[in-house]
Structure 1
């Protein structure tokens, strides 16, 4: 049963994430996107690079 529950939980998370994305898109359409938001979105889409401290 846990497999089924885990699957349902993952599906629920995906639905919540999709709903949040829809809300963000709607807010951007209504009020526009701020420069900070654009910077955050751009940074979030960059591939992860480990810092020097993390690689040591």
Structure 2
């Protein structure tokens, strides 16, 4: 199944794979800790949204 891009910032992306279901966070280069923290917080919010939508995710 195809992944769905949920967020993109610089070289970092957060995708959703509905076949699992799970979020996939990818970075193609080094990022500073503040940018990494921002990405993790965005991912956490997306995970909460998907859990509310699907009920079960990233098991």
Query: TM-score by structure 2 length?
Result: 0.43
Return the structure number with greater strand share.
2
Higher RCO (Cα < 8 Å, 6 or more apart): 2
Greater C-alpha Rg:
1
Structure with the higher helix share, 1 or 2: 1
TM-score by length of 1: 0.45
